[in-house]
Amino acid sequence: MPTIFFYGPELDKDKKRKLISSFTKKASELTGIEEEAFVVYLRNSGPEDVGVGGKLLEDRFKDQ
């Protein structure tokens, strides 16, 4: 069972539906695996939960 994880900002339900549909269709197209086999997880992660270059994203935005 192929699995796709997406970590990103909070999305409204319509955007979640579109994202899951798009990920599934493209992954199926590229791999030849039927769409029904894919599982997609959407995980919320805001700028206070992610670090890049040793800094929280939220702090990097403040520095700019």
Maximum distance among all alpha carbons in the chain? 45
Would you say 2 and 39 are in contact if contact means Cβ atoms under 8 Å apart? yes
- Confirm whether pTM is higher than 0.95: no
Give the residue ranges of the chain where pLDDT is below 50.
none
Domains in the chain, start-ordered, CATH in brackets? 3-63 (3.30.429.10)
